[in-house]
Structure formats: C-alpha cells, structure tokens
Chains A and B, each alone.
Chain A
Amino acid sequence: MRTGATALALLLLPALAAPQVAPPPAAPRPPDLRAIVSQIEKGDATGAERQLRRIIASYGDPGARQLLARLCLDQKRDAEAIAELRKAALAAPLPRDLGLRLAAAEIADGHPALAEQQLRAVATRYKSVQALMELARLQTRQQDAAGALSTLEKARGLAPNSEAVLSAFAQVALSMRAPVPALQVLEPLARMCPTVAQHHYMLGVALMQAGDVQASTAPLREADRLEPNRPLTLIALGLVLNSQRTYGEAKPYLLRSLDLEPDNVDGVAALAESEEGLGELEAAETHALRALARVRDHAIGNLTLGMVRMKQERYEEACAALEHALVADPASPKAPYQLSLAWARRGDEAQSKKYLEIYRQRVRSIDMRLAEVRAKTGISAGGMQR
C-alpha cells in the first residue's frame, strides 16, 4: 500500500501542476490537498479518503475528486473511481492519465461520444500521442476510417518516428484502400525496423493495393522469412504471385496457409485461382465452389469459377459467376473482360460491348490511379507495362 500510495502521489503531481480552471472569486478556497497527499504517503488511506469526501461535500473541489478517484483506482474500486472522474471532468479538465482512464471506462461502458470528447480534450491539452492513438482506435471501431486517419496524421506530427504511430497510420490507410499515405510511412518504417515482419507484410499489401504487384513480392517474402507460417502473409504472397501469373510458385504458399488455417476462405479462393492458372480445372472448380459456399460473393472465388466455366464453354454459368465477381470487386477489369468474351461467344454483341466498356473504364481508372501513386510516391514505372 505504501508503495502504491507513493506512486499515486507522484501521479498526482502533474495534476496539481496542471492548469486549473479559476474558481469564482467569491467562493471559499478549498483546503490545500498536499496535506492529504502526505497522509496517503504515510499509509493512512482511510483517513485521507475521509478528508477528501469532506472537502468534496463542502467545496465540490475537482482536485479532491481526482485524488479520491486515484485512491479508489489504487484500491481496485474502479466503479467509484470512474464516478468521481465523471464528476471531476464536468468541473475541470482531467490530468492526462485520468482523462485516458475515464475515456477507457466510457468506451467499456458503451459511451463512445463521451470517450471521444475526453480523448480529444486530453489530446489537445497535453499534446498526447497516446490520446490520439486511442481516439484513432475508437474512430476505427466506429468505422470512421477517415477520422482515424486524420487523428493519426496529428499523432505523426507529434511523434514522426514512433513505430506505433506509423504502424497504426499504415493500418488505417490500408483499411481505407489508401495505399499512397500507407506507402509513405511503411517504406521508412520497414527500414527503421527491419526485423518486424508486420511492417514488411503491410508494405507488401500497400504495394499490392497501389498496383505495383512485382514490388510487393519482396517485402512479403521478407515478412514470411521473419515470421514463417503466418497464414495472412502466405495468402498475400499467393495472391501476389497469382497476379504475376506465377501460379506454380503461388500454389505451395497457399497450400501452406491452408495447412495452418484450413477454413480461410481467401486462402481457398486463391488456391483455386492458382489451380485455374495451372490448368487444373477440376481442382480449381472444387476449391472455388468451396470458397463460394462460405462467402457467396467472394470476388476471387467467383472470378475463378467464371474462368473455369469459360474454359468448359458453359457460358451461361460463367456469366453468372462473373457477374458476382464484377460486383464483388468493383475495380478489377478481369471480370468485365471475361464477361465481354462470354457474351460474344453467346452471340450477344450488345451485351459484349456493354461489358467491354466497363472493362475499358476500369482500365482507365487503374491507369489514373497508378499515375497518381507513381507521382506521389516516386515508385517508378515498371517500364512499358501497366
């Protein structure tokens, strides 16, 4: 208790030092809390609590409430502590640690708006990177990725070399399919922390998102080397190698991922894609159907099934699968291209042209996106190819 009390007292100091809202001039001044802190340091927590409650009753003093909250927290009386903090926060800004503690409690109690308010207050008042990180997490949980990214941008301003901040920023950017900002932090991050598999993995994914498929292979391989047998890395590698049409190389990674996580639907679908590329149509069909049984609208599952059906000259079924793929992945030109072929083979020129136009629009979009990525990140063009 004595040690805990000392720590508690030390924690209090910043709160005391922190600027307080000035009381109305006519109000009586509450007693000096330093004596109570001393009392706590001496191990008389009970007496100190009694004193604090008296002061609170007489003056409603937020400082006393904060100190009482610390005492309660130290004694694992979290509910009482939070109740005091809520009241204290209404009267005056909380110290950084208590503000964060209250925000965590508000999140746990299902009050995200109050938590956000508290985190913003702490972040603004103390330029707290931790508060910004927590706020970004909260925004992410609330599906506000744009807000989270903006918050993390502020955190980057405060701590430009923080691994945690950069990593979080990249994760949020990737979740928003915004590879340019992700790449801007991941490339230095992977160099700063070359032994962290996660950074290389995210760099690989960011490059995939940016469309630089070939460049994404090296960081993913590095992630696999640093942390072997991580299913997500193996699947990402499989996807990247599939998109480079090195299906024979992709397949072993995907088989390994499925050994580790047999029901991973992305892994199963990617395996189907490899098999289709290798001309193993029966296996590709089986795995594509298995993926689609789990996730009916799976983009790769449907695309692969569509490709298989095209080769089987079952064009009507091909169209059905490819239609799903078209919707499931609104950026890819593969499905509309195959649909244009399928309809041409079904003799419907108008439908064929319709999908050809969608294909062309998507190719144009990709070209524009790649040009933007190259301009912003300096990633050089791979020569003649898109």
Chain B
Amino acid sequence: MKATLAVLASALLGAFGLALAQAPPASSLLFRDVAGEAGVAFHHQASPEKKYIMESMSGGVALLDYDGDGLVDIYLTNSLTVDTRNDPKAARSVLYRNLGGFRFEDVTDKAGVGHPGWAMGVCIGDVDGDGAPDIYVTGLGRNYLYRNNRDGTFSEIAVQSGVAAGGWSTGCGFADYDRDGRLDLFVSRYVHVDLDNLPEFGKGTGKGEGRGATCQYRGVAVQCGPRGLPGESDLLFHNDGNLHFSEVSERAGVRDTHEYYGLGIAWFDYDGDGWPDLYVTNDSQPNYLYHNQGDGTFKEVGFPAGVAVSEDGSEQGSMGVTVGDYTNSGRPSLFVTNFGEEYNDLFRNDGTHFTDVSFQSKTAPASLPLVMWGTAFLDYDNDGWEDLIAVAGHVYPQMDQVKTGASAGYRQPKLLYHNRHDGTFDEVSRQFGPVLTEKRVSRGLAVGDLDDDGRPDVVVNDLDGPAQVLRNELAGTGGWLTVRLEGKPGNTLALGAVLTVKAGPLSMTRYVRSGTSYLSQDDMRQHFGLGDRSQADVVEVRWPDQSLTRLEKVAANRVLVVRQP
C-alpha cells in the first residue's frame, strides 16, 4: 500500500478544498454599496434555475466617459433567456450617465443601447478615431457595435462594419495589433449553442450537442457543459478604416483551431517589445498567450511561457483575467480567476517567462472554494502598490442541494487582497464588513474612480440580481494621481500605452487596455496611489507607437490629462 500511495498523489489532477482565510474583524469602512442612492437600479435577469449554460455566463460592466464630460459613466449588460428568446426587448442593458456626486441617470433609451439581445460582455474602443468612445457588446447570436454619435446617442453598426460575428461571443477587446494607427478587435467565443436543439437539463440526451456533455454535478442534475459541448473559434477583426473590419483570425494565427471555450481576454505587451500581445482564458482548457510577432501574425506560447495551465499542469476553468504590475517591477503580471475547487492563478512576469506564484503569493488558498469571475488590480488604499479584487458565484443554483464538501454554495463572497509589498497578499475582505463578505452571484466587475476623489470604486454586475456600485470610502488613504491619455486620431484612447509613475521609492506601471476583467471594461484612466507623497517625481508615457512623453514633478491628487504630441 505504501508503494501505491507513493505514486497516487502525483497521478492526480484536480483541485479544491479549504475554508476562506480568516482575517481579524475590523471596523474600517472601505466600500459601501451606493447603487440605490446613486440611482443605479439595474437588475440583471436570468432564468431562476439556469437550465442552460448561456443563462449562467452574463453579464459585463463597462466604465466609460461616453459624453466627454470628464465623469465616468456605467454600462451594464443584460441577457435574454431561453424563455424570453423571442422577445428582443425582454432584456434591457442600461447606460447610466454620471451626473456627479455619485448620482446617475438612466439614459439608455435616449442613447439607444438598451437591447443587444443575449448580451454577455462589453468593451470600449474608439473605432472611428473621433475621440468619442464606442461600445461593443458581445452575445449569443450576434454582437453589437454602438458607434458614439457625440450627441448622447449611438448608432448600431456591427453588421455593416463586419463585426457582428455570430455564435456565442464572450470576451472582447480593442488594440492596434499591427500598429497601423487603427483599432482592431479581438472577440473570444465560448460554446456552440443551437437554440433549437438544446441539451436536456441534467441529462444531455437531446438531439443536439448535449450528448456526452457534463450534465451532473456530484450527483445532482445541472445545466450541461461546457465539457462535452462543442466549442467555438475566436475572432480577430482587422480595422481596414472607414468603419470596416475584416476577419483575419486564421491569417493572424489566433483563430483557436482547438475551439476551446474562450472567455476573458487581455491585450498587453508582456515582453515589452512594443507590440500588443494577447492572452485568452479558456474554460476547462489551456489558456492561450499569443505573442505578437510584429508582422501581423501571432505565435501561441502559453505553455512555454508558463501561463496555459496551473503549476501542476492542470487545465483550470478560467474565467476572468487582469493585468498589473503588482511587484512594481515594470513588468505586467497576470491574475486569472478560475472555477471552484481550483485556484486563481497569479502568473508573475519574470521577464523571460511567467511563474505561477499563486500559493507563494498567498492568493490561492482563499480562492479554492469559489467560482470566480470579474477581477482587477487596484490600489484601493493609495499606498502605491496594486491590490486585487475578485468576485464570485457558482454557475449552478442547484449547488445548494449538493453535498459540496470544501466548495462554497451557489452564492459566494468577494475576495480582496491587500498587497504586502513583498510579492505576497493578505486576503482582507473580512476587515471591511459585509459588503465584501455578503454572498452573491457576481460576474462582471470594473474599476474606476466614479467621483474623482482619488479612491478607486468598483461596479459589479450580478447574474440574476441587482448591480452593485461600491463606493470607496476608505479614510486616511494616501495621495493619488489619475492620468487620462489622449492618443492620436485613430487610437484616441491610447490603447496599448504604458504609463510609469515614479514617486520617491515607488515606481508604478499601468497599462491602458480595452477588454478587462470578466467580459468587462475598467475605466481607461490610470490611477496611481502615491502614499505620503505630494507629487509624482516622474510621469512617463510610452505611447502605442512607442514614442515617449515624460513629465516631471507632477502635483498629486488630481486628474492629469496627457495628450500625445
């Protein structure tokens, strides 16, 4: 038996188990959910039982300044269900205009962005280079591109622009991958769904693709998939100008010939060669890292780079992804949220490769029981070091009937990790009261400073529940600087720019990205905590075309606008 045991464990895959890390209770207030008082009455819809997989995966949230008034607005996606599929108006996505002072107004109808069907994710880009952010919404069946008319309204132009896609799109993000000065678009896709032939709940015995799918969870009937269902390839749209895109996935080498279950995406230049690379999270399958070869093509390097699977070689059910320089090394690391009984991956960028430091950094254990989605690096206390937040919630409402063992139930708490400045984190959600520990079923998350007080706020889109607007009210935080970049026409949002702020011993780097978190969009303005410093010694911008702008002695506690020369 000894000999058997000796080889058993190493033959095993899979993960899981462990209660949440206990943190001592404290009375500090960090976030307060002000959705109600702020006028954000959004309530995401889904069928109660979530009998089909597409009823469990929406929705996203985008923070953008659609009207150019300097205040961050909110867009939340909502989705149809199997029961409401024939009524395109049954689900209403909502655009909230920021009126200032944490008051928001529902401007959806006027803006014309309320009914993008089975909406899943959202990302922001200025596709026509006119300086006004446009909204791209992914979903089941087709996607929507809402072109900003610069008058508070949008025009939907996906079909004529060639980016309506089809199938089941999830993540999206704009980037100028070939540096031709125009924003291109990547769209990840998930599972192939035939609405007329849905796999039977709990059985998978329908005529369609449900056969052989995973439709049971620990003996309880649940929705089928994604395992056993056919996947869908991903899409890269090249911006040809004049609001026309061509699909170039195959040619560029990012088509996803395996048809993995794509979800989150992150455009970022991981090796600092000036060309935007691309990371794609795949549910239950290896994640992709596409290295931009600078000639319009990409090479998939997820495995050799060490970011395809977990440290022990397990394919995890990856959902969201965020990028941040949490070590203040100038290198972008990856944080990936995963399914329950797996752990969230923190892949530290070590220059030539990534290292899975999830356990070393102490971020993994608390995540093991949770199914996690939206996530972001944020310096919530302005100490100059990127902290981390992630939201959770299972996909099976039936979880509460399951003998879950070490897993959490259907509703799950958030995790907030405080950066200890030594490569490790403390999970501190319990220090900040029930707004973080309350169990919910969250999906999308986006971070931005909604009131420009220098403290990053958080907006969360819950599946089949009310959205949360988490106002950061932490007292005694340090100085700060928020930087808004204005790029050249064509890429006015400066997507792909890299900002470095130096303040005393601190050297912080941020990345301007479209498509963040899980199916969401963070505010593209970049926030820096400055600790006890009253100024940033240096603000350096490396623009997408690799030109540099350097500012010195920039006063703290303000929103700084930097225009590309």
Distance from A227 Cβ to chain B, minimum over Cβ atoms (Å): 15
Of A52-60, A111-119, A330-338, the stretch lying at the interface with chain B is: A330-338
Chain A residue at smallest Cβ distance from B403: A218
Contact A243 B6 (CB under 8 A): no
| Contacts known (A239-B8, A249-B18, A363-B313); A383 close to B304, Cβ less than 8 A | no
Most chain B beta-carbon neighbours within 10 Å: one of A243, A247, A385? A385
- Distance, CA A385 to CA B314, complexed state (A): 9
- Distance, CA A356 to CA B302, complexed state (A): 11
Chain B residue at smallest Cβ distance from A249: B18
Question: How many chain-B residues does the 8 Å CB contact rule pick out?
Answer: 57
Our pick among B214, B313, B352 for the contact of A345 (Cβ within 8 Å) is B352
**A residues in contact with B364, CB < 8 Å:** 245
Chain B residue at smallest Cβ distance from A270: B9
**A residues in contact with B365, CB < 8 Å:** 245-246, 248
Contact B9 A245 (CB under 8 A): no
**B residues in contact with A380, CB < 8 Å:** 216-220
Contact A341 B343 (CB under 8 A): no
Chain B residue at smallest Cβ distance from A211: B12
Contact B343 A245 (CB under 8 A): yes
1/0 contact string of A270-308 vs chain B (CB within 8 Å): 100100011100000000000000000011100100010
B329-384 at interface with A (beta carbon < 8 Å): 339-343, 352-353, 355, 359-360, 362, 364-365, 368
B4 at the interface (CB under 8 A from A): yes
Our pick among B6, B317, B342 for the contact of A269 (Cβ within 8 Å) is B6
Our pick among A242, A246, A344 for the contact of B9 (Cβ within 8 Å) is A242
Distance from B7 Cβ to chain A, minimum over Cβ atoms (Å): 5
**B residues in contact with A244, CB < 8 Å:** 14-18, 341, 368, 406
Contact B217 A382 (CB under 8 A): yes
A328 at the interface (CB under 8 A from B): yes
B325 at the interface (CB under 8 A from A): no
**A residues in contact with B305, CB < 8 Å:** 344
**B residues in contact with A349, CB < 8 Å:** 304
Chain A residue at smallest Cβ distance from B352: A345
Distance from A342 Cβ to chain B, minimum over Cβ atoms (Å): 10
A250-268 at interface with B (beta carbon < 8 Å): 264-266
Contact A211 B216 (CB under 8 A): no
- Distance, CA A231 to CA B532, complexed state (A): 54
**A residues in contact with B26, CB < 8 Å:** none
B315 at the interface (CB under 8 A from A): yes
A197-221 at interface with B (beta carbon < 8 Å): 205, 208-209, 211-215, 217-218
Contact A243 B12 (CB under 8 A): yes
| Contacts known (A246-B18, A278-B359, A363-B313); A386 close to B4, Cβ less than 8 A | no
Distance from A233 Cβ to chain B, minimum over Cβ atoms (Å): 10
- Distance, CA A88 to CA B106, complexed state (A): 101
| Contacts known (A208-B8, A214-B406); A333 close to B341, Cβ less than 8 A | no
A77 at the interface (CB under 8 A from B): no
**A residues in contact with B5, CB < 8 Å:** 205, 232, 235-236, 239, 266
**B residues in contact with A169, CB < 8 Å:** none
| Contacts known (A246-B368, A380-B218, A384-B339); A340 close to B304, Cβ less than 8 A | yes
Contact A303 B10 (CB under 8 A): yes
**A residues in contact with B222, CB < 8 Å:** 383
- Distance, CA A294 to CA B159, complexed state (A): 68
Chain B residue at smallest Cβ distance from A266: B6
- Distance, CA A208 to CA B396, complexed state (A): 25
Chain B residue at smallest Cβ distance from A302: B10
Distance from B186 Cβ to chain A, minimum over Cβ atoms (Å): 24
Contact A344 B368 (CB under 8 A): no
- Distance, CA A205 to CA B4, complexed state (A): 9
B196 at the interface (CB under 8 A from A): no
Contact B9 A384 (CB under 8 A): no
B226 at the interface (CB under 8 A from A): yes
B138 at the interface (CB under 8 A from A): no
Contact B368 A331 (CB under 8 A): no
A104 at the interface (CB under 8 A from B): no
- Distance, CA A266 to CA B3, complexed state (A): 8
Our pick among A209, A211, A337 for the contact of B312 (Cβ within 8 Å) is A337
- Distance, CA A211 to CA B8, complexed state (A): 9
Distance from B201 Cβ to chain A, minimum over Cβ atoms (Å): 15
- Distance, CA A265 to CA B7, complexed state (A): 12
Contact A385 B284 (CB under 8 A): yes
1/0 contact string of A35-61 vs chain B (CB within 8 Å): 000000000000000000000000000
A2 at the interface (CB under 8 A from B): no
Chain A residue at smallest Cβ distance from B226: A384
Chain B residue at smallest Cβ distance from A337: B313
Our pick among B9, B315, B368 for the contact of A386 (Cβ within 8 Å) is B315
Contact B312 A383 (CB under 8 A): no
Contact B218 A209 (CB under 8 A): no
Contact A332 B11 (CB under 8 A): yes
Contact B341 A299 (CB under 8 A): no
Distance from A245 Cβ to chain B, minimum over Cβ atoms (Å): 6
1/0 contact string of A350-362 vs chain B (CB within 8 Å): 0010001001000
1/0 contact string of A111-143 vs chain B (CB within 8 Å): 000000000000000000000000000000000
Our pick among A211, A235, A345 for the contact of B353 (Cβ within 8 Å) is A345
Most chain B beta-carbon neighbours within 10 Å: one of A245, A278, A356, A386? A245
B408 at the interface (CB under 8 A from A): no
**B residues in contact with A212, CB < 8 Å:** 14
Chain B residue at smallest Cβ distance from A264: B2
A175 at the interface (CB under 8 A from B): yes
- Distance, CA A349 to CA B311, complexed state (A): 19
| Contacts known (A266-B6, A341-B306, A381-B217); A366 close to B339, Cβ less than 8 A | no
| Contacts known (A208-B12, A352-B304); A328 close to B7, Cβ less than 8 A | yes
**B residues in contact with A214, CB < 8 Å:** 14, 16-17, 341, 405-406
Distance from B404 Cβ to chain A, minimum over Cβ atoms (Å): 10
| Contacts known (A241-B17, A273-B9, A278-B359); A341 close to B304, Cβ less than 8 A | yes
B211 at the interface (CB under 8 A from A): no
A180 at the interface (CB under 8 A from B): no
- Distance, CA A68 to CA B22, complexed state (A): 76
Distance from B211 Cβ to chain A, minimum over Cβ atoms (Å): 14
- Distance, CA A299 to CA B405, complexed state (A): 28
- Distance, CA A314 to CA B6, complexed state (A): 25
- Distance, CA A303 to CA B10, complexed state (A): 8
- Distance, CA A273 to CA B10, complexed state (A): 10
**A residues in contact with B217, CB < 8 Å:** 380-383
Chain A residue at smallest Cβ distance from B424: A279
A329 at the interface (CB under 8 A from B): yes
Distance from B81 Cβ to chain A, minimum over Cβ atoms (Å): 21
1/0 contact string of B1-38 vs chain A (CB within 8 Å): 11011111111111111100000000000000000000
B46 at the interface (CB under 8 A from A): no
- Distance, CA A125 to CA B9, complexed state (A): 44
Contact B339 A385 (CB under 8 A): yes
B405-423 at interface with A (beta carbon < 8 Å): 405-406
Q: A236-B5, A243-B12, A383-B217 are in contact. List 20 more A-B contacts (CB 8 A).
A: A208-B9, A213-B12, A245-B16, A248-B365, A278-B359, A299-B6, A300-B6, A300-B9, A300-B10, A329-B7, A332-B10, A337-B312, A340-B303, A344-B305, A344-B353, A359-B313, A363-B313, A381-B216, A385-B15, A385-B16
A-B contact pairs, 25 of them (CB 8 A): A174-B1, A209-B8, A213-B14, A214-B14, A214-B17, A232-B2, A243-B14, A245-B15, A245-B16, A245-B364, A247-B359, A264-B2, A273-B9, A278-B359, A333-B13, A337-B309, A341-B353, A344-B304, A349-B304, A381-B214, A384-B214, A385-B14, A385-B341, A386-B284, A386-B315
In the A-B complex, list the 4 residue pairs whose CB atoms are closest, starting with the nearest: A337-B313, A344-B304, A239-B9, A332-B10
Query: Which residues in B have some Cβ–Cβ distance to A below 8 Å?
Result: 1-2, 4-18, 214, 216-220, 222, 226-227, 283-284, 303-306, 309, 311-317, 339-343, 352-353, 355, 359-360, 362, 364-365, 368, 396, 405-406
